[in-house]
Amino acid sequence: MLTQAAEDYLKSIYKLQEKGGKVSTGILAEYLDVKPASATGMIKKLKSMNLVSHERYQGVTLTDAGKVIALEVIRHHRLLELYLFKALGIPWDGVHEEAEKLEHVISEDVEARMDEFLGYPTADPHGSPIPDKNGVVPETVSMPMTSLQNGQSCVVAEVSDSDSALLRHLGSFNLYPGTAFQVIEVAPFEGPFTIDIAGQQAVIGREVAKNIFVSNVQET
Amino acid sequence: MLTQAAEDYLKSIYKLQEKGGKVSTGILAEYLDVKPASATGMIKKLKSMNLVSHERYQGVTLTDAGKVIALEVIRHHRLLELYLFKALGIPWDGVHEEAEKLEHVISEDVEARMDEFLGYPTADPHGSPIPDKNGVVPETVSMPMTSLQNGQSCVVAEVSDSDSALLRHLGSFNLYPGTAFQVIEVAPFEGPFTIDIAGQQAVIGREVAKNIFVSNVQET
DNA sequence: TATATAATTTAGGTAAGCCTAAAATAATTT
DNA sequence: AAATTATTTTAGGCTTACCTAAATTATATA
Ligand SMILES: [Mn+2]
Ligand SMILES: [Mn+2]
Ligand SMILES: [Mn+2]
Ligand SMILES: [Mn+2]
């Protein structure tokens, strides 16, 4: 079994390489809130286990074996988030932190039983896809809310899950995955979005909108 | 927050001092499957945190502060066992191992929600008492099965939870906490017990019987 | 192209928590 | 009481995963 730290590195490399290929040591260190020297050390260890490919100064990528483990940890994390949300009623702004610790500790048996209890779900409470037990990630199509135009309607697909205060803010507008809304106005000069959610108006700033991804975009 | 190792030491000291006052370094090391030198090291650390009292060569006991933490970990463990058993259907011979890891990782919020889901239970699947959220341990009265006499009837109160194979063996006879049985025969010279469980006869060896505790003992 | 800046790696350290081997202390036997 | 045996502690090592500071390499700028 890998250590918790090693699993977190693999998971992070996976997420970072999804948007941008090779992952630099500095980016990885910043993402994990450690110093670059620490990241270098772990990269060496992971390389010796053939879980990552790495050449000095050239960034790191997962090997196939490393990807399998990364997806396994991500599956644990997202299944746990949904389970804690649905079975124990933990609010969606609290599940990430719990799952971050539990993901390294649950057995494959617990994983399978949660999966069954939840009816083999494909997305966590924040809309992120849950890899299936073979590591296949459900396809998702979404675009950042910031690319929406005046008058367009859409459905919330996914929101970033790690900022608890942001999630509470979105919850106050009922902006959960699956929620439909329409853009009433986009203020000029990179200004905020005024939107209509089931008849209720809300003003969403740029910084918040960057963390919201939408699908089913239509002109109205 | 204490480390997982420190929490396990406190939990173990609590259990060992329940039956025999001061806990020797050797007994503690054997219980935790580490060398005595390692136990000495951790005892020093716990003493520096005022969680245990210790004088060289004289054994160790928990301080009040240490007891609070020990009971908190035991509460986590037993609530988790019951939750995994009832909510996820994990068999009673598998819950101990899972709980051993999860106990150090769940939040007070998860603890409280499991407690509520389970209806504020007082015993885990093996009959061990669950300390309440204030650290109060429910009173239990039981005696070892080995002290039973011919013809006596009783109810299973508690079985030891750490040996998975033993638990499967007991399960094959339906010997769960709450199960009633009657002693048909006690073979002489420290021999096995022949018992009647709801009309089914079973032969229980001495070594197995040592791990079973009973209550409601009555002559018939 | 030479120099300045930024990113990355190397070198050396710390803290947990385990280990083995040797020394110290306590308990038991003669 | 002395000698033997058992228990406990000390001393010194190892691994993981982090750190800071210095050296190296790559990239950007003049
Ligand atoms: Mn994690
Ligand atoms: Mn999530
Ligand atoms: Mn434990
Ligand atoms: Mn138990």
| Domains defined for chain B, CATH in brackets | 4-62 (1.10.10.10), 143-218 (2.30.30.90)
Residue of A nearest to B94 (CA): A109
Find and list the nucleotides of strand C having atoms within 7 Å of a protein beta carbon.
7-12, 16-22, 25-26
B68 touches chain A (CB under 8 A): no
What is residue A61's predicted lDDT score, i.e. its pLDDT?
Answer: 96
Whether residue A110 and residue B89 make contact (CB cut-off 8 A), yes or no, is no
Whether residue A110 and residue B87 make contact (CB cut-off 8 A), yes or no, is no
What is residue B19's predicted lDDT score, i.e. its pLDDT?
Answer: 83
Amino acid at position B124, single letter: D
What is residue B162's predicted lDDT score, i.e. its pLDDT?
Answer: 86
The answer to whether B185 and B192 are in contact (CB under 8 A) is no
Q: How far is the CA of B120 from the C1' of C16 (A)?
A: 36
Task: Find, among B175, B170, B166, B168, the residue nearest to B198 by Cα.
Answer: B175
What is residue A20's predicted lDDT score, i.e. its pLDDT?
Answer: 83
What is residue B15's predicted lDDT score, i.e. its pLDDT?
Answer: 97
What is residue A198's predicted lDDT score, i.e. its pLDDT?
Answer: 96
Q: Strand, helix or coil at A143?
A: strand
The answer to whether A28 and A14 are in contact (CB under 8 A) is no
What is the per-residue pLDDT across B202-214, written as a single tens digit (0 to 9) for each?
Answer: 999 999 999 999 9
A88 touches chain B (CB under 8 A): yes
Task: Find, among A4, A128, A3, A18, the residue nearest to A62 by Cα.
Answer: A18
Per-residue pLDDT of chain B (220 residues; tens, 9 = 90+): 899 999 999 999 999 999 888 999 999 999 999 999 999 999 999 999 999 999 999 999 999 999 999 999 999 999 999 999 999 999 999 999 999 999 999 999 999 999 999 999 999 999 999 999 999 999 999 999 999 999 999 999 999 998 999 999 999 999 999 999 999 999 999 899 999 999 999 999 999 999 999 999 999 8
- DSSP designation for A11: H
B84 touches chain A (CB under 8 A): yes
Nucleotide nearest to B60 (CA to C1'): D8
Cα distance between residue B218 and residue B152, in whole Å: 6
What is residue B160's predicted lDDT score, i.e. its pLDDT?
Answer: 94
Q: Residue B11 CA to chain centroid, in angstroms?
A: 11
What is the per-residue pLDDT across A108-155, written as a single tens digit (0 to 9) for each?
Answer: 999 999 999 999 999 999 999 999 999 999 999 999 999 999 999 999
